[in-house]
């Protein structure tokens, strides 16, 4: 698969980290924000941080 430079940039955009946690945001953005908050961690660590940010989100 050969992509042009433009196609490559469109397909592989840098990850955008939300500036703040927003309960009405998408699950993906909530996860990205939680991961950014902890720096690194497992999926369970991210879920724990999400629960801290929005109690009841994982249950």
The domain ranges of the chain are 5-53
> Using CA atoms, how far apart are residues 22 and 9, in angstroms rounded to an integer?
27
- Write down the pLDDT at residue 18: 97
pLDDT given for residue 1 in this prediction: 73
Q: What is the pLDDT of residues 1-50, one digit of tens each?
A: 789 999 998 889 888 999 999 999 999 999 999 999 999 999 999 999 99
pLDDT of residue 37: 97
| pLDDT at 59 exceeding the cut of 90 | no
Q: What is the pLDDT of residue 58?
A: 77
Q: Which two structure tokens, joined as six digits, stand for 41?
A: 């961690």
State residue 48's pLDDT score. Answer: 96
DSSP 39: S
């Amino acid at each position: 698969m050969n992509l042009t430079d433009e196609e490559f940039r469109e397909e592989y955009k840098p990850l955008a980290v939300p500036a703040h946690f927003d309960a009405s945001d998408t699950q993906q953005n909530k996860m990205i924000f939680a991961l950014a908050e902890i720096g690194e961690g497992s999926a369970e660590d991210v879920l724990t941080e999400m629960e801290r940010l929005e109690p009841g989100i994982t249950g």
